[in-house]
Amino acid sequence: KFGDIGREMYFLRQGVCTVMNGAENVIYAVFASGSFFGEFALLFSQRRSATIKANTYCDLFTLSQEDFQSVLHDFPEFEVIIKREGLKSVIGGFRIYPLITDRVLLGLPPPKRPVASSPLQKAEGQLSEELESN
């Protein structure tokens, strides 16, 4: 529920859920079988940012904070996947989403570019920088 302290995340094995604001008068998304939610509270030590309500009978798997940390320790790539997919679901409705790279989604610095040695490489670098800034 919106505002609660998150101590677990959920995997929706079967069913349909609606993601709503705290007042439960705005629908953000609808989750179906195979979706997961609650990861932001675990990843970023945040309170719940939405309320989830079941539209149908739902079968859920729960992953506790302690087990979540254990999974991240044993499988660090899981954190990258969870962050990327979670952030995609949050900003997926924005038109600019296709322009956002995984590095940006994960808060990583841009990759270092090699120093251009020819005029063509310099022009390509300038064009690339201009495209990234727009």
pLDDT of residue 105: 46
Is residue 117 helix, strand or coil? coil
| CB neighbours of residue 54 within 10 Å | 13
- pLDDT tens for each residue of 4-58: 888 898 999 999 999 888 888 888 888 888 888 888 888 777 788 889 999 999 9
For the stretch 76-115, pLDDT in tens is 888 788 777 766 665 554 433 444 455 444 455 555 555 5
Domain spans in the chain, listed from the N-terminal domain onward = 8-100
Q: Does position 74 have pLDDT exceeding 50, yes or no?
A: yes
**Which pLDDT score, from 0 to 100, does residue 130 have?**
63
Fold of 8-100: Jelly Rolls (2.60.120)
Considering just the CA atoms, what is the radius of gyration of the chain in Å? Answer: 19
pLDDT recorded at residue 23:
84
- pTM of whole model > 0.75? no
What is the predicted pLDDT for the residue at 90?
59
